Amino acid sequence: MMRPARSSSARILIAQFSVAQVLIAQVLVALLAGAVFGLGLSLSGMLDPARVRGFLDVAGAWDPSLAFVLGGAVAVASAAMLLRRHLRRPAFDAEFHLPATTPIDTRLILGSAIFGAGWGMAGLCPGPALAALSLGLAPVALFVTAMLAGMVIHDRLAAPQPGGSQS
């Protein structure tokens, strides 16, 4: 895959800081963001599969408390996206790396259904599962192993191949 030529803001970024300094800053920001994310997951109860299942059980003993976690995430992300519109580039990169808008298609709907089934059965989704590894619980380790196996199977069998064809 060819990389686009560096923009003038990228040249300014590198002129102000060495490549090593930029990489160190990116790693430190990622570590800080991960620590904040993990702390938030722990504090909110998202690491407790029973609590997550209670949130997902809208037809039974529904526990709406995790809706505040979702609301908080949407509020923070919305504020960050509004701020991004006023910035020329991020602090430690030449450009923002945003996903392209994609249509709602069969793959998305099927993937969402499979994800939802796994989330409902296990009470864990990928982020909280990785954070819950810190608890040292065997069921969480098995879940993460199975999740990674599912990702590998997808990448080997179902992922779009370069050039747009699927195998």
pLDDT for the residue 167? 43
**Residues of the chain with pLDDT > 70: what percent?**
87
pLDDT for the residue 1? 45
Is the model's pLDDT at 129 over the cut of 50? yes
Q: How far apart are CA 133 and CA 137, in angstroms?
A: 7
Backbone torsions φ then ψ of 83, nearest 5 degrees: -60, -40
pLDDT for the residue 9? 53
Q: 128-133 — which CB contacts under 8 Å span 24+ positions?
A: 128/41, 128/46, 128/47, 128/52, 131/37, 131/38, 131/41, 131/42, 131/46, 131/47, 132/47
Give mean pLDDT, residues 126-148: 90
pLDDT for the residue 163? 62
Q: How confident is the model at residue 10 (pLDDT cuts 50, 70, 90)?
A: low
pTM for this predicted structure:
0.67
Q: What is the pLDDT of residues 38-90, one digit of tens each?
A: 898 888 888 888 888 888 888 988 999 888 988 999 999 999 999 999 998 88
Give mean pLDDT, residues 111-129: 88
pLDDT for the residue 46? 84
